[in-house]
Amino acid sequence: MNRVPVRALIAALAFGLVALLVAACGGGSSDGSSGDSEQLTFKLTDAGCEPHKASAKAGPIDFEVENGGSAGVTEFEILEGETILGERENITEGLSGSFSLTLEEGEYTMRCNGGTEEDGTLKVTGELETEASPATVKAIDTYKKYLLKNSEELTAKTKPFVAAVIAGDVAEAKRLYAAPRVNYERIEPVAESFGDLDPRIDARENDVPKSEFGGFHRLEKALWEEETTKNMEPVAEALLEDVEELEELIKGKVKIHAVEIANGANELLTEVSTSKITGEEERYSHLDLVDFKGNVEGAEDAFLAVAPLMEEQDPSLVKEVEKDFAAVYAALKPYETNQWPGFVLYTELTKADTRKLAQTIDTLAEKLSLVPAQIAQGESA
Amino acid sequence: MALSRRRLLASAGIGAAGVGLGAGGYLIGHDSAEADAAESTGSVPFYGEHQAGIATPSQDRLHFASFDLETEDRTELRELMEEWTRATVEMTEGKMIGTYAGNHDELAPPEDTGEAVGLPASNLTVTFGFGPGVFDRPGLGLAARKPAALKPLPPLPGDELNGLESDGDICIQACADDPQVVFHAIRDLARIGRGTVTMRWSQLGFGRTSSTTRTQETPRNLFGMKDGTANIKAEDGEAMDKYVWVDEGPAWMRGGSYLVTRRIRMILEVWDRSPLQDQEETIGRKKYSGAPLGEQDEFDPLPLDVKGDDGKPVIPEDAHVRLASATENDGVRILRRGYSFTDGVDQSLGELEAGLFFIAFQRDPEKQFVALQRKLGQFDALNEYIHHVGSAVFAVPGGTRPGGFVGEGLFRPGS
């Protein structure tokens, strides 16, 4: 199991932490940003700005100001420190006006000159959403489709497996175990980003306290080590529930950035290096090479989704990475068979075999690790 | 917190309960003089209230060995400890083991193997410990001397023990600034032990990964991260007494400590391709300065309650320094004194077989190391990059008086 991918990179690089100023005096036009503007409405009174305290999410904000019957207060300003970011003046009785700003997280001053009360505050929280380029949008969209496809297949393949376990058919359950593993191992980092879904679905025996050991590997242990499905019904049912929950989460508002996709590719290769190549993942069934290929496929598809974003900066890196992926598949080929599960069991590999595989992965991963920074650069260019 | 820099051994001696070592005054005074001498001559006194190699400023090199005891004859064990003590006194003074005659008789194999001849003592310390198994051997009759705190370590989260560098009946920790000197120490002591003990496993260490005194610059471990910033420092007599030195249980253990070793294989290839931010967030410190995330200086206290602009703690919840900090562990601390190691290439992966040979001293392994590892083994972000492959625990007896030998108290009636 790995940690959540790095997220802070995006905001920091893309915007350099400076508030954006757009339009202001003269017209009530919007700043031309997407239709996701937040609306804040204020009244000018003898006291000053009303409400006196406001809060908003980072991003584009439309300020609507109306004179609520004050002769002395006719202005509304938003300041950062003593710098006026935006304002409307001459909003006399009966009139209203507006202006827009795109603000990042922080505390701003609201000032309505002439009012009896002191300045008010506007608290802005959250991350400024970047306006993604069409290429980025496409990359994210491509990858999301990949995630969804694998997640749906995962659910579809887990169902019969779970059914076989519940029916008590050990041989059939074993046969059906391999298929969902591939889909899961392709998209594992995404599962990891959703709280404890990954340990529930994919923990190995000493990853979690005994009472929490469930998911695929608990069933794997029952089938291969204990040769039984006794007492496994609740475990199997919980697994299907978790897998379906994953699908729902992926279908829903999953926000992914291009750099995260690139980081996810690296994490998939770390999975290979730390547990598949050592035979630790599938301790009872020894189907580690099946998972291995799944991880690599997942890494490749993630990489291919975002590669167009860096082709301008570093086309040679893209080529090298593609070459290294090919080398990994070539290295796996000798171990592929045309019977279930499609690969030799891990226990049949010699030190020389694992060594060769480990080296092709290390070669690929070392290059692939350069990609996220390239993507980030490409996005902020 | 300003602590006066008192002489190492003097501070350790003051206020400690009498341990039957004779004139306490002599011991303390003697050791202070020796300690002063140590800095200039590169020789660490062997005798003292505590065994050397614990509070001693961490030297650069390690050779650690674990032995299986092949005898149940108490006299044989006693004689071994006596001989080992004699040899150690000589080595730590930079002398050859044995006599002139013993080393120059053409017809006899020399007593000393010779590779340290001409090399200075190089701050050599040799520290001895006894594993739990020794006390369970019926023939030795030491069951009544077994300290309550000495138990095999329980299974711990994160254990990936391969059985190769674990456990043992007797351990010897040799540290010095010269690799040849530490190698020689273990080799010669193993030779002296032939017939009574066999070597179980050993580990060479090539770079200290903890500073144990305030004067030492914090070294880096193989992750390139500063290691030992928050370690107990030997000058901190109060902390040493509170966390390290044993002052209860059987008399032979007074002034001693418990030594835990963990062979921690680092997955360097994976670490090396992680972005700098990931590396720093895994540990909880900036890589190059060693400053805690969110702070400026290496020795700034950990800002555990501080949150960043995104509302999340600046030191992540699963960062190593947070999980290991005394604050998050009811004040539990240990004295770390580990070394980096490499043992060539893991032939099954074509990758470096390297990492940290972790050594910790504490007065109660269960309450200290075990409690910490239970938490770290489950939650530490660092777990992604390490495998705990070896593990052992030993009881390190109190110090030796001139004329005595290591572990003497074990053989004295009624102690």
Q: What ipTM was assigned to the predicted interfaces of this complex? A: 0.73
List chain B residues with CB under 8 Å of A270.
270, 384
CATH number of the domain at A60, please: 2.60.40.420
Single residue among A100, A125, A150 that ends a domain in this structure: A125
Q: What residues 246-275 of chain A have any CB closer than 8 A to a CB of chain B? A: 263, 266, 270, 273-274
- Are A330 and A374 contained in the same domain? yes
Within-domain flag for A72: yes
| DSSP assigned state of A20 | B
For residue A180, is pLDDT > 90? yes
When divided into structural domains, chain A yields a total of 2
Maximum pairwise Cα distance, chain A? 89
**Which of B275, B281, B348 is opposite residue A351, by nearest beta carbon?**
B348
Domain positions in chain B are 22-39+46-411
pLDDT tens digits, one per residue of B226-251: 999 999 999 999 999 999 999 999 99
Whole-angstrom distance, CA of residue A320 vs CA of residue A42: 57
pLDDT attached to residue B330 = 94
Rg, C-alpha atoms of chain A: 28
- Are A140 and A98 contained in the same domain? no
Within-domain flag for A51: yes
- Residue B11 binned pLDDT confidence (cut-offs 50, 70, 90): very low
How does strand A76-80 pair with strand A59-67? unpaired
- Are A155 and A93 contained in the same domain? no
Whole-angstrom distance, CA of residue A206 vs CA of residue B374: 12
- Are A92 and A192 contained in the same domain? no
- Are A101 and A212 contained in the same domain? no
Q: What is the mean pLDDT of residues A65-76?
A: 91
Single residue among A125, A153, A178 that ends a domain in this structure: A125
Whole-angstrom distance, CA of residue A267 vs CA of residue A188: 9
Within-domain flag for A4: no
Helix, strand or coil, per DSSP, at residue A41: strand
Mean pLDDT, chain B, as a whole number?
89
Q: What is the mean pLDDT of residues A234-250?
A: 96
Within-domain flag for A170: yes
Taking the alpha carbons of A251, A252, A258, A261 in that order, is the dihedral positive or negative?
Answer: negative
List chain B residues with CB under 8 Å of A376.
none
Count chain A–chain B contacts defined by CB atoms under 8 A. Answer: 60
- Are A227 and A356 contained in the same domain? yes
Q: Which amino acid is at A176?
A: L
For residue A22, is pLDDT > 60? no
Q: What are phi and psi of B126, to 5 degrees?
A: -130, 120
Helices (H), B215-347: 237-239, 268-272, 276-283, 320-324
A356 touches chain B (CB under 8 A): yes
- Are A115 and A231 contained in the same domain? no
Whole-angstrom distance, CA of residue B293 vs CA of residue B300: 10
Judge: B277–A365 Cβ closer than 8 Å, yes or no.
no
pLDDT attached to residue B148 = 96
Q: What percent of chain B has pLDDT over 70?
A: 90
Q: What are phi and psi of A94, to 5 degrees?
A: 90, -10
User: Is-contact B225 B46, C-beta < 8 A?
Assistant: no
Judge: A355–B282 Cβ closer than 8 Å, yes or no.
no
How many residues are there in chain A? 381
Within-domain flag for A13: no
Helix, strand or coil, per DSSP, at residue A123: strand
Picking from A41, A40, A42, A21, the residue whose alpha carbon sits closest to that of residue A32 is: A21
- Are A251 and A291 contained in the same domain? yes
Mean pLDDT, chain A, as a whole number?
86
- Are A183 and A207 contained in the same domain? yes
User: Is-contact B46 B92, C-beta < 8 A?
Assistant: yes
Q: What percent of chain A has pLDDT over 70?
A: 89
How many residues are there in chain B? 415
Whole-angstrom distance, CA of residue A176 vs CA of residue A158: 8
Judge: B270–A365 Cβ closer than 8 Å, yes or no.
yes
Judge: A351–B347 Cβ closer than 8 Å, yes or no.
yes
Whole-angstrom distance, CA of residue B195 vs CA of residue B186: 16
**Which of A263, A355, A368 is opposite residue B349, by nearest beta carbon?**
A355
pLDDT attached to residue A255 = 79
User: Is-contact B361 B252, C-beta < 8 A?
Assistant: no
Q: What is the pTM of this model?
A: 0.76
- Are A298 and A343 contained in the same domain? yes
Taking the alpha carbons of B54, B56, B61, B67 in that order, is the dihedral positive or negative?
Answer: negative
For residue A269, is pLDDT > 90? yes
pLDDT attached to residue B216 = 85
Q: Cis link prior to B155 (omega < 30° from 0)?
A: no
Judge: A273–B157 Cβ closer than 8 Å, yes or no.
no
How far is the CA of A2 from the CAs of A5, B43, B226, B270, in angstroms?
9, 47, 23, 12
Single residue among A80, A106, A125 that ends a domain in this structure: A125
Q: What is the mean pLDDT of residues B88-112?
A: 94
pLDDT attached to residue B41 = 60
Judge: A355–B273 Cβ closer than 8 Å, yes or no.
no
Distance from CA of A359 to the nearest CA of B (A): 6
A9 touches chain B (CB under 8 A): yes
Q: What is the mean pLDDT of residues B295-312?
A: 91
**Which of B269, B277, B348 is opposite residue A362, by nearest beta carbon?**
B269
List of residues 6+ apart from A47 with CB closer than 8 A: A115, A116, A117
pLDDT attached to residue A164 = 97
List chain B residues with CB under 8 Å of A127.
310
Judge: B270–A270 Cβ closer than 8 Å, yes or no.
yes
Within-domain flag for A6: no
Within-domain flag for A14: no
For residue A230, is pLDDT > 70? yes
Whole-angstrom distance, CA of residue A360 vs CA of residue A321: 11
How does strand B197-205 pair with strand B170-176? unpaired
Within-domain flag for A176: yes
Q: Which two tokens stand for residue A144?
A: 């999301």
Distance from CA of A152 to the nearest CA of B (A): 29
pLDDT tens digits, one per residue of B157-210: 989 999 999 999 999 999 999 999 999 999 999 999 999 999 999 999 999 998
For residue A345, is pLDDT > 70? yes
Q: Which amino acid is at A208?
A: V
Judge: B275–A270 Cβ closer than 8 Å, yes or no.
no
- Are A324 and A182 contained in the same domain? yes
- Are A310 and A345 contained in the same domain? yes
Helices (H), B177-314: 179-192, 237-239, 268-272, 276-283
List chain A residues with CB under 8 Å of B384.
2-3, 270, 274
Helix, strand or coil, per DSSP, at residue A271: helix
How does strand B351-362 pair with strand B335-336? antiparallel
Judge: B309–A105 Cβ closer than 8 Å, yes or no.
yes
Domain that holds residue A140: 134-380
Range list of β-strands (E), B177-332? 197-205, 207-208, 257-266
